[in-house]
Structure formats: C-alpha cells, structure tokens
C-alpha cells in the first residue's frame, strides 16, 4: 500500500480515493508545482493535507474563508494532526499557541489568511519555520477580472519565490482565462502540472445487477469476455479462492489474490497479471493499489463494494488505455446488511459512522438508480452530467412502477409484527403463505396477511431490497437483522410522499463482448 493510501485510511478514515485525488496527491507530494481544477465538494482538501504529511517541513495553506480554515484545523486536530490557523478571528491565546507549536517544530499545517501576507513580519516568520509546501485554496481569487478578487492573493507569487518551495493551487473555476491568470500570477508564467480533465471515464461501461445466482452471473459475464484481462472483486478471502477455482474449471486463466496470502505468492500474481494476456484475478480490495495495467478490459464485483468511492476506484482500474471496458456490480440484501453491520460494529466515532452510512446510501442510490448511472455518480462527485449512453440504464431504461402501495404494505407488515422479523417471514405474511412459523406466531390472523398476493416472492424481494437501498428500512443488529423502519419512511407511511420503484428484470443473457464506442 502506498504511503498516501495508508494516510487516507489511518488518518482520515476513508477506504478509497475520490477520482483524481490519488494522481494529484502523488504530484504534489513529489514536489511539482500543481494546479488542480476540481468541482466543489470533490475533495480537494485531502489533495494538500495528505502531501503535507508526506513532505518535510510545514505546509502553509492560504485560504480566503476564515470559517472554512477553522473547520479544517478542528477536523485535522481531531484526526491527530498538528494544525493551526493565523487569522483575524483568532483569540490572542490561540495565536500564541500557534506560535509556540511553530517554534517547537510541531506544526504540520499552518493555515493563514491572505491579509497576513501583507504584514512585513510574516515572510520572516515563514522563512524561519521551514516551509515545505504552499497550498492555495480558491486560487481564482488571484484573478482581477473575477468576482472573488482578493488583492492580497497577488502576494502569493512573491512568497513562493522568496521561500523557493513548490506550490499547489486549487480552484473549482475552470475557464481558460482564469487558469492563465493563475499560472501568470502564482507561477510566474511557468506552467505547473495541471489537472483539469473531468473525473468521468467515458469508456467504462457501468452496470449493476441484483444478485440472483451470483456465481452464475459472474461466470456468464466472464464467459462473454473470455481471453480478456479482468478483475473480480469479492467480499471475502474464501470467496476469491472458490470463484477462482470455478473460473479455472470453466477453462479461464484465473487466480486468487487476497491479503492473507504470503507476500511472495501475491507478488507472483501481480507479476503474472501485468505480463500475461487474459488473466482473471479474483481478489479482495487488497488487489489494485499498485496495479498499473492499462488494458484491463473488465471489472466485476461479486459483492457490493464498501462505498461509492471504493466502487469508482475499483471499476476505474479498467480501461486505462481509453479503449472500451465493461463492469458489472452485483448486490443483494445480504450485502447491504453486511456493510451496515461493518459500519455499526467498527471502531469509528459516531459522526464518522453516520458519514459512512451516508456514503453507503449514496452507493445504494446508485445501485437502485432509475436513470443514467454515470450522471448519478458524477453528480455525487460534484460534476454536471447528462445521460451518457454507456451504462445499463441508458442501454435499457428500467421499467418502473408506483411502489407507494407496496412499500406501505411492507411497512405495515413490519410494524404489525413488532419490527422483529427478516424479509423472508414478512414476505410469507404479505403473500399469504401460511408456513409453520406464520401459524405458530398467529400471523395469518393479521390484517396484512395476504394483502400482497398480487406480487410473487421475487417481486417482494426486490421491493425489500430497494427499501433498504432507499434507507426506508434497516436491519437491527441487536435482533439478528430484524427489519426496522427508519425516519425516512415515515412520510410514505403517512401518505405524504410516494416512491417509484423499478421492476427487477434479472437478465442472464451476457452482453456482447465487443462494443463500439
């Protein structure tokens, strides 16, 4: 695992990079001047915070927003990183504390407001403390023609020259004039490494499918791509072994890879994957960080990834050469339950657990999306997007139906049985199936018994999965995964809101192996 990935996980608690982050972090950390244009909310802070921890010396961060600086300093300290801010909002005590930490050489990041640069003493101070990197947030503030012009930003170029250290500039404003002005004013006209490309990877076809017979689904996907290099990601080590064997038996060239294997065995797999054509590696997420193979033609997830960031990073390993690549992600109610439990039982503090549930919800929203996957994904990363024409939902728009009634029936079955049962039993009640368990509990006497006869078992499974995906219900871990209603479902139960659901069509016909772009 690279240093950056370790810091991402251990300090910031994230399992995967957002699009663009890894490349930008690498460039900044190696000391190149960098200009990165990233959408708001795309995650630019990490692009200088992680390099700050990888480089010698203090990283000076210049930002025009005092509140934002204070938030970031607070968050960094909470994560155990020594950071401080010098702004007009400081109390005298805070300022003294920052000075002391600087003098003692403890501080890793120093946030300063641009007006501080005007004070003559600042340069001397910054010279003394050994600055290793300058990071400039909202770099478009240097543009005299823009709305956010900050005269003090014009001093940043001088500062860079005086300290003679690399500078990383960030902005969400992408127009060419502003970019040119940033290069002129901050970098003396010497073009820095520039990251402008959007985060979209248009050559990667995206598809999700509900788990029906997952082994058969993966085998069919691989069979349609025989002879092409691919990765199958699995949720457990054991599954990588069994699936690799099944692929071998079906005549593929395949091997397993997971963190429990000897380092030597893992290196052999990595070596084979990069040198051989058409090898399938069946792996846990341990595989991929160092993999730099341009012609991976497909990536499949046999189990739901951890987060939307993890999903995009993993499918993003396909098609680096720009040629068409295919992906398929399988998901089912057990995955959702497993991922929720992992978050709930993890050691993270409560706010982070909430954020993790939020990121899982974003991935489930993508899995259950009714319109273009790519547009849904890019919107999550802060980019504008229109339907892409290269995802399963653009290929075949899903059949939808007004699911309000079905959801209310399901919620009613959950509530009338005291939020104590899993979907199997609830579906028996809804479809009027008088099993032993139903009879023993007297559930055939419930008013909900049989109200869902208009749909079969599989239809109801789809409804329950989508209800989990929309976070209307969650498994209760104290009661072995019994389903409980969430607050999100209340307006639907009260008839104030409706829900559109998709009709599940489980399609076993593999997609054609070769597609034109």
| Helices 423-430 & 457-469 angle (0-180, nearest 10) | 130
Q: Which does 391 bind (CB under 5 to 8 A by kind): ligand ADP, Zn ion, none?
A: Zn ion
Residue 299: φ, ψ to 5°: -135, 130
* 48 contact, one of ligand ADP, Zn ion, none, CB 5-8 Å limit per kind: none
14 makes contact, choosing from Zn ion, ligand ADP, none, with CB < 5 to 8 Å by partner type, with: ligand ADP
Give the residue with the Cβ less far from ligand ADP, 309 or 383: 309
What's the rounded Cα separation, in Å, for the pair 287 and 279?
14
User: Cβ closer to Zn ion: 398 or 450?
Assistant: 398
Q: Which does 372 bind (CB under 5 to 8 A by kind): Zn ion, ligand ADP, none?
A: Zn ion
Instruction: Quote the least distance from Cβ 298 to Zn ion, whole Å.
Output: 18
The one of ligand ADP, Zn ion, none whose footprint includes residue 41, by CB under 5 to 8 A per kind, is ligand ADP
For residue 37, the minimal CB distance to ligand ADP (Å) is 11
Residue 17 to residue 19: CA distance in whole angstroms = 6
User: What CA–CA distances, in Å, run from 67 to 37, 59, 167, 461, 472?
Assistant: 22, 19, 23, 47, 35
Whole-angstrom Cα distance, residue 421 to residue 407?
16
Q: Which is nearer to ligand ADP, 298 or 311 (CB)?
A: 311
Q: Which is nearer to Zn ion, 374 or 470 (CB)?
A: 374
Please give the residue whose beta carbon sits closest to ligand ADP in the complex: 43
Residue 61 or 204: which CB sits closer to ligand ADP?
Answer: 61
Residue closer to ligand ADP, measured from CB, 168 or 269: 168
What is the closest distance, in whole angstroms, from the C-beta atom of residue 395 to Zn ion in the complex?
8
Output b/e per residue, 439-448; b: 16+ Cβ within 10 A.
eebebeebeb
Residue 374 contact among Zn ion, ligand ADP, none, beta carbon within 5 to 8 Å by kind: Zn ion
Query: What CA–CA distances, in Å, run from 272 to 282, 439, 465, 492?
Result: 13, 57, 39, 53
Beta bridge partners of 299: 231, 327
End-to-end CA distance of the chain: 34
Q: Cβ of residue 487: shortest distance to ligand ADP, in angstroms?
A: 22
Write down the least CB distance from residue 14 to ligand ADP, Å.
Answer: 4
Distance CA 517, CA 498 (A): 38
Shortest spacing between CB 403 and ligand ADP, in angstroms: 30
List residues near ligand ADP by CB under 6 A. 14, 16-18, 21, 38, 40-46, 309
- Nearer Cβ to Zn ion, position 354 or 370? 370
CB of 191 to ligand ADP, least distance (A): 22
Please give the structure tokens belonging to residue 237.
């080590």
CA-wise closest residue to 228 among 302, 319, 328: 319
| Residue 359 CA, distance from chain mean position | 7
Q: How far is the CB of 508 from ligand ADP (least distance, A)?
A: 34
315 binds, among ligand ADP, Zn ion, none (CB under 5 to 8 A by kind): none
Q: Which does 167 bind (CB under 5 to 8 A by kind): Zn ion, ligand ADP, none?
A: none
Helical ranges in 30-173 per DSSP H: 45-54, 66-78, 92-103, 120-129, 156-163
Q: Name the residue nearer to ligand ADP (CB basis): 16 or 391.
A: 16
- 79 vs 394, beta carbon nearer Zn ion: 394
HEC profile for 425-490? Answer: HHHHHHCCCCCHHHHHCCHHHCCCCCCCCCCCHHHHHHHHHHHHHCCCEEEEHHHCCEEEECHHHH
Point out which residues bind Zn ion (CB under 5 A): 372, 374, 388, 391, 394
Is 299 in contact with 233 (CB distance < 8 Å)?
A: yes
Alpha carbon distance 368, 331 (integer Å):
10
155 binds, among ligand ADP, Zn ion, none (CB under 5 to 8 A by kind): none
Instruction: List the structure tokens of 468.
Output: 């989990």
Minimum CB distance to ligand ADP smaller for 17 or for 464: 17
Residue 120: CB minimum distance to Zn ion, A: 56
In the bound complex, what is the minimum distance in angstroms from residue 49's beta carbon to ligand ADP? 8
Binding at 18: pick from Zn ion, ligand ADP, none (beta carbon under 5-8 Å per type): ligand ADP
């Amino acid at each position: 695992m690279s240093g950056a990935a370790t810091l991402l996980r251990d300090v910031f608690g994230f399992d995967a990079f957002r699009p663009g982050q890894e490349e930008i972090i690498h460039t900044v950390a190696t000391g190149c001047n960098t200009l990165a244009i990233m959408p708001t909310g795309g995650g630019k802070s990490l692009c200088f915070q992680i390099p700050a921890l990888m480089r010698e010396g203090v990283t000076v961060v210049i930002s025009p927003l005092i509140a934002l600086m204070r938030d970031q300093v607070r968050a960094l300290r909470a994560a155990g990183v020594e950071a401080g801010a010098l702004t007009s909002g400081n109390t005298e005590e805070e300022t003294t504390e920052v000075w002391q930490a600087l003098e003692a050489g403890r501080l890793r990041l120093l946030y300063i407001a641009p007006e501080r640069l005007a004070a003559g003493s600042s340069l001397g101070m910054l010279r003394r403390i050994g600055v290793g990197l300058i990071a400039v947030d909202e770099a478009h503030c240097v543009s005299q023609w823009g709305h956010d012009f900050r005269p003090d930003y014009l001093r940043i170029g001088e500062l860079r020259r005086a300290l003679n250290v690399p500078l990383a500039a960030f902005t969400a404003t992408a127009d060419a004039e502003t970019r040119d002005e940033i290069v002129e004013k901050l970098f003396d006209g010497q073009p820095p490494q520039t990251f402008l490309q959007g985060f979209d990877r248009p050559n990667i076809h995206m598809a999700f499918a509900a788990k029906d017979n997952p082994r058969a689904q993966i085998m069919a996907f691989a069979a349609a791509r025989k002879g092409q290099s691919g990765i199958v990601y699995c949720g457990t080590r054991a599954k990588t072994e069994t699936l690799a064997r099944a692929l071998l038996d079906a005549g593929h060239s395949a091997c397993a890879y997971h963190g429990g294997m000897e380092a030597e065995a893992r290196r052999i797999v990595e070596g084979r994957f990069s040198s051989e054509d058409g090898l399938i590696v069946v792996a846990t997420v341990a595989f991929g960080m160092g993999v730099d193979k341009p012609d991976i033609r497909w990536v499949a997830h046999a189990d739901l990834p951890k987060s939307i960031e993890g999903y995009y990073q993993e499918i993003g390993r396909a098609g680096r050469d720009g040629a068409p690549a295919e992906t398929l992600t399988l998901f089912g109610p057990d995955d959702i339950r497993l991922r929720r439990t992992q978050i709930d039982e993890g050691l993270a503090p409560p706010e982070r657990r909430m954020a993790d549930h939020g990121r899982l919800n974003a991935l489930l929203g993508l899995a259950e999306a009714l319109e273009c996957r790519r547009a849904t994904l890019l919107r999550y990363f802060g980019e504008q997007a229109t339907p892409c024409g290269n995802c399963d939902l653009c290929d075949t728009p899903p059949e939808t139906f007004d699911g309000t009634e079905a959801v209310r029936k399901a919620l009613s079955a959950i509530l009338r049985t005291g939020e104590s049962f899993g979907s199997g039993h609830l579906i028996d009640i809804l479809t009027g199936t008088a099993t032993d368990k139903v009879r023993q509990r007297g559930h055939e006497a419930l008013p909900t018994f049989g109200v869902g006869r208009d749909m079969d078992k599989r239809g109801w499974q789809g409804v329950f999965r989508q209800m989990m995906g929309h976070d209307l219900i969650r498994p209760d871990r104290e009661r072995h995964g019994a389903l409980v209603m969430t607050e999100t479902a209340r307006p639907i139960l009260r008839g104030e809101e409706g829900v559109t659901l998709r009709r599940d069509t489980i399609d076993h016909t593999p997609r054609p192996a070769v597609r034109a772009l």
